[in-house]
Structure 1
Amino acid sequence: MPTLLIVEDNELNRDMLSRRLQRRGYQVLLASDGGQGLALARAERPDLILMDMSIPVVDGWEAARRLKADPVTRPIPVIALTAHAMAGDEARARSAGCDDFDTKPVDLPRLLGKIQRWLGEVPNPGATDTGQPMPALRLPPMAQVTLPGTRASLGELLAFCERTSREFGLDADTSFRVRLSVEEVCVNVMDHAYRGREAGPVKLRLLREPAAVVIVVEDKGATFDPASAPAPVLRGTAEQRPVGGLGWHLVRQVMDDVHHEGLPGGGNRITLTKRLPAA
């Protein structure tokens, strides 16, 4: 199940929200101030963060800015929670980097709807259980999929990339770069991270930011470091060149940033960033 990080200094509010979310199947991490929240977010990489904005040590506004400035935590959706609901709070939260906004006291059905949309858990957000249309929603510019880490999943992963690129409105060149990078990274996971062991999952997340598209690939295989991949030898015929290094070389050529981290308990997270051309 998805893991949520709640950053809230009020113990009663924190524990009450945690219990309600756990009853609905979510795993929950807790932090009582912004400093703890930043440390937990980087160490545990939750699927989503619920951030109270009036917290000690590092307030929610600054914590959100730091999360979105860090390539490791930038892809994690952040929902701002504030009890003030003053005019301009939502705009201020989004300016700080928060992906969504809600008010306290928590209206759980409303908050759950936002959590589910950001996690891709609402298959048809255009209708209610009664079949009646819902009010227009600001859909999050994020999509993710988890599939078995085998070559048989590659076609579905690439189809997901193409579909999401269209939904994000990416131009042809950026779409090509996204697809190429996802293919190279996922094949590396399938052929190397899971080599000699039962294939585990590959989790792919695409995030559309105002000026960039971010790709996150996670696995639970053997830890590897792309920086250690040998530089490819591009001279000579194909038969004369040694095997290895070309895939990561291509990824570095078509992406603006390539970041790798080993995951706690094993596995890898690759975060790729491609800046978008100016409109």
Structure 2
Amino acid sequence: MINDTIQALTIAGTDSGGGAGVMADIKTMQERHVFSAAVVVAVTAQNTIGVADFMAMPEKLIDEQFKAVADDLKIRAAKTGMLADVPSVKAVVANLKKYDLGPLTVDPVMIAKGGARLLSEDAIQTVKQELVPLATILTPNLPEAAELTGMQIESSDDMLVAAQKLQDMGAKNVLVKGGHEADDNESSDFVLLENGDSFWMTSPRVDTNRTHGTGDTLSSCITSELAKGKSVEDAIRIGKEYVSATIEQGIQVGHGHGPLNHWAHVKGEANDDEI
């Protein structure tokens, strides 16, 4: 059958250093045996040390990219990452409403590992009001969850409250990533599902600074699994296992916050041709 290969879409910014953004998304989807298409919303000049500059794409070009993908490809799931500014967020939201791109994973990228802000202050409000309600799965880290909810998150109980607040804002399922939590031994993520069920995912913390692109990789792995037809819970659990493997089986690239090993093997997983 023509056009029946599993396809997914990343809607995000580029990373000239290759470790995050659209580059990480494409690598992840490829490793999960999903064909990746992309709508580039912004272009960054960055490497493992930091972000030197970025520029948002014109709204017309964002629209044309969406149209080109939707006219030809059969997208089964999509994700958003860096969206830069208010016009970009609004353009993305309008196109997500216009085209059927399957379940949507929203990674509310705001600040880069090196501290550079990747989402303007006024755009945060637009994300909260217009993008979050479209999310099948919302995947904020602790600083992003705090920014979106307006609350301080300093404990496991706070993570539960934040997840509920984010769900009340319209996100169907919420994954609050605890990687920024001050625990030297473990990293714990909290998941609140649409049906009210919830669970924790815990993994040993790896002593490394090779974690650039973690959020992008997690959200694109989840998107890949959703495109394959996996349940939300299964997609999230697979995403966690894959990201843990990319950190544990690290590579040496650059001199700062290095990238993940996207060709890492998940222990106990089927052979590549069976994924």
Normalising to structure 2: TM-score of the pair?
A: 0.31
Tell which structure's C-alpha radius of gyration is larger.
1
